[in-house]
Amino acid sequence: MLKKYFYFLGVLFFSFTLSFSQTLRVKIIETSDVHGAVFPYDLINNRPSNSSLAQVSSYLKEQRLDTNQIVFLLDNGDILQGDPAVYYYNFEKTDTLHLIADVMNYMKYDAATAGNHDIETGHEVYDKFNQEINFPWLAANAVNTNTEQPYFKPYTTIERGGVKIAILGLITPAIPKWLPEKIWSGIRFDDMIETAKKWVKKIRATEQPDIMVGLFHSGVDFTYGGENENTDRNENASKLIAEQVDGFDLIFVGHDHAGWNFKTKGPAGRDVLILGTTAGAQNVAVASYVLKYDKMCMIYDKKEISGELVSIKDYSPDPDFIKRYEKNLTEVKNFVNRPIGKFTESISSRDAIFGPSKFVDLIQSIQLELTDADVSFTAPLSFNALIDKGTIYVKDMFDLYRFENLLYTMKLSGKEIKDCLEFSYGNWFNQMKDQEDYLLKFKLDEKGNIQYSERTKSPELDERFYNYDAAAGIDYTVDVTKPVGERVNIIGFSNGNSFDINANYSVAINSYRGNGGGGHLTRGAKIPQSDLSERIINSTEKDLRYYLMKWIEKEKTVAPKLIGNWQVIPQEYWKAGKEKDYKILFK
């Protein structure tokens, strides 16, 4: 009888707790690496596009109309660079509210993390932007060197519909390898893993969130660039944090443009969902939770957790968004369609992937003239760009030179110049056994077949094309039958002077490379990272694209030409490999 009584009480208690429980659906939406894709319009090619924040706005309205779910909106960095629209508001029209700040406020972002390309815009731009947004901009490991406190907010908590989420922001700490110090002066970028350990413990203890979110402008592949799980300040430490730092339910990643949706195990054996977008507002990463709140225990039990990447191309632009920013688009169109000169012939970045090209040599010639340096280094910053002959417009400068780099003049020895080139061509060209072999260094599987990207279905190169550095000012050959480190033969300077391996020379080089980006100076020439700043003789005040534009305006008519200072040998190998690989890459 007593047993039945306690059983009855148990049933009553269970029924009582069920009656006071509440099931909630939560959707956390991330944009990342938008790179200025505000409008459904390709400003460089003057045609509509199918990815933009205008379309994301339509998706958000749809989600927010669903009253059966709670929606949070986050951004994961690299939104202030990459499109003429943001360039215009970064550097041309600076006396007004930044377009991106207005757009993100209008879309009601809850929080965002700063990205390395946001920092690349310089203090004047990102400090102003940070004051203009109506939500916290996060980066716990970006530390103010004067106060030893985070330069941006470290984390934020948001409570909506009875659900409390905590968001820790982290930025890739590799910024000092890529950007000149004056751009990030007063900021130290600490290791992501150590920073996460510090802040998660504090957040869990003081905030007690229902969902702990990592918003990391950092990729998943911690081996990229020769790094590993023990590398201090690893560039792409997001997955390492998920697996080494207990407490996360969800980690949004960015920076690598790869598109991620998978789960991994945290140190306590709990699942951690990892999500990340590609780039240019092509998709959004969405984490969906079904939470059951037990009032007796006063906790949410995460019953269902799922992730997805939602394609934006099928969403029409939000008409309210378009109407609100119509004048902004017209103003930017007028800016990019301003004529600045003429080209006597077309140039293509495709040629630069396989060897000497008029595309790269135009930049080399301008760099040498601007700096009066002995040698110039540059790489193609576009993979598949074509600038037609005839009138050249401001928009064409974004094809000719994609990124906002300063132009350095640096001091390098003859040996360091050669070692940089050996490093570049070692990552660029395959060691060819015969004319049937690949010219380019593709990623190959264990059978020797080219690997194809699962996401883009395109062949994968072993190194990013924007690290294919060539030189001007010196004459040299690259022998693709030789092993890595033995390919480059420098004959002398193009003006007829001899080249001394032991002498010091001035070198024109962009700030990304000059600060160690790509590893040419650090891993190739073996210059310690800490010594690079001492090698800088001079730097431009504005980005190189600005000076390229002014140079073309001054010249009025430009005849692109091959400098002809370097060649790939044996020539018959190069021609055969180029023809074969061109078909593989561009079909």
CATH for 543: 3.90.780.10
Same domain, residue pair 80 and 196: yes
> Pairing relation of β-strands 111-113 and 69-75?
parallel
Number of folded domains in the chain? Answer: 2
How many CB atoms lie under 10 A from the CB of residue 303?
Answer: 10
**Spatial contact of 64 and 71, defined as CB atoms under 8 Å apart:** yes
From 317, 332, 347, the end of a domain falls on 332
Same domain, residue pair 59 and 88: yes
Same domain, residue pair 410 and 314: no
From 288, 313, 332, the end of a domain falls on 332
First to last CA, the chain: 83
Same domain, residue pair 396 and 516: yes
From 332, 367, 402, the end of a domain falls on 332
pLDDT of residue 541: 86
Q: Is residue 516 part of a domain?
A: yes
pLDDT of residue 505: 98
Q: Is residue 4 part of a domain?
A: no
Same domain, residue pair 254 and 392: no
pLDDT of residue 7: 41
The pLDDT mean for the chain works out to: 93
Q: Look up the pTM and report it.
A: 0.87
Q: Is residue 446 part of a domain?
A: yes
Is the pLDDT reported for residue 16 higher than 90?
Answer: no
How far, CA to CA in Å, does 59 sit from each of 66, 112, 313, 526, 554? 11, 19, 10, 49, 46
- pLDDT tens-digit series, residues 424-444: 999 999 999 999 999 999 999
Same domain, residue pair 251 and 233: yes
Confidence of residue 296 (pLDDT cuts 50, 70, 90): low
Q: Is residue 298 part of a domain?
A: yes
Q: Is residue 14 part of a domain?
A: no
pLDDT of residue 12: 42
Same domain, residue pair 394 and 292: no
- pLDDT tens-digit series, residues 384-416: 999 999 999 999 999 999 888 999 999 999 999
Domain assignment of residue 366, given as a range: 339-586
Confidence of residue 492 (pLDDT cuts 50, 70, 90): very high
Same domain, residue pair 281 and 353: no
Same domain, residue pair 104 and 249: yes
pLDDT of residue 298: 64
Q: Is residue 10 part of a domain?
A: no
Q: Is residue 7 part of a domain?
A: no
pLDDT of residue 457: 82
CATH for 184: 3.60.21.10
For residue 192 the two structure tokens come to 């992501």
Same domain, residue pair 273 and 346: no
Q: Is residue 2 part of a domain?
A: no
Dihedral of alpha carbons 414, 420, 425, 426, sign: positive
